[in-house]
Structure 1
Amino acid sequence: MTARILIVEDEALVAMELRFVLEDLAHEVVRVVADARSARDVVRETEVDLALVDIHLSDGPSGVELGRALAEEGVTVIFMTANPGMVRDGVAGTIGVLSKPSDEHAVEKAVAFALGRRLGQPVEYAPPELQLFSA
């Protein structure tokens, strides 16, 4: 399945690498943004299936609230952060957290898992790199 994916990441090299991985997997990266306001604008302007959201953005630690808001808008959300303990208790409506740095294979498996759940397809198990939040 090809998905429309939003990358919310303020580190340019990390964002560029994620974009390459996702495009190699035949997904459409709708935009790469570095702050919560820009991410909200993108979701208002275009259809987004999945958002990969860092917790610390260029406007501060706004990623947690952003993830919650995007999920309320119907976007499937995976957090990506070097500090997964910041969301250890989970965030309502979001899938889980992938620790950074993550390799290409971990991103591929986490995205496939999240998109499968979005489509209601049977998903046997989450990849070990993806810490799931309770539903």
Structure 2
Amino acid sequence: MTARILIIEDEALVAMELRFVLEDLGHEVVGVAATSKSARDMARETDVDLALVDIHLSDGPTGIGLGRELGQDMGVTVLFMTANPGMVREGVAGTIGVLSKPTDERAVQTAIDYALRRRQGEPVQYAPPGLQLFG
């Protein structure tokens, strides 16, 4: 199952590495955004299935509100990817969960597969290792 994915990450090397991983897995990366405004604009202008959202962006710790907005208002499936998973420990409405950074290609792949199966309404019993689910 391939998806159109938006990477929301302010560290260029992390974003580039993530893009390579996603494209190797057969997904289409529709854009990379370093701020909440550019991410919001991209999400409005393109058809996005899944957003990988860091919490701390170039414009501050805006990822939490952005993730909520993408998930609740725009119908995007949202996974947080952050070195600060404690910031979303209580969960964020409209989002699935958080993957702690640093992570590896396998953890990214299994988390994305899980999120896309949930998006399609397929039954999923267990979260993959490394993915902390909300709610």
Written as runs of structure 1 = structure 2, the 5 A alignment for 1:107-122 is 107-122=108-123
SS at structure 2 position matched to 1:43: helix
Distance 1:107 1:128 in 2: 10
Q: By how many angstroms is 1:124 displaced?
A: 2.2
Which secondary structure state, in structure 2, belongs to the residue aligned with residue 79 of structure 1?
A: strand
Secondary structure of 1:94's aligned partner: coil
2:126 aligned with 1:125:
yes
Residue 10 of structure 1 aligns with an amino acid whose one-letter code is: D
The residue type equivalent to 1:120 in the other structure is G
Question: Residue 15 of structure 1 aligns with which residue?
Answer: 15
Supply the distance in 2 between the matched residues of 1:46 and 1:69 (Cα, whole angstroms): 16
Q: Scaled by the length of structure 2, what TM-score is found?
A: 0.98
**Equivalent runs, 1:1-135 vs 2, <5 Å:** 1-72=1-72, 73-134=74-135
Residue 122 of structure 1, CA deviation: 1.3
What is the one-letter code of the residue matched to 1:78? Answer: L
The CA deviation at 1:123 is: 1.2
TM-score (norm 1): 0.98
Structure 1 gaps of 5+ residues are none
Q: Could you list the runs of 4 or more consecutive aligned residues of structure 1 that deviate by over 6 angstroms after TM superposition?
A: none
Quote the RMSD (CA, aligned, Å).
Answer: 0.5
The number of residue pairs the alignment matches comes to 134
Q: Distance in 2 between matches of 1:44 and 1:6?
A: 11
Aligned partners of 2:98 and 2:23: how far apart in 1? Answer: 21
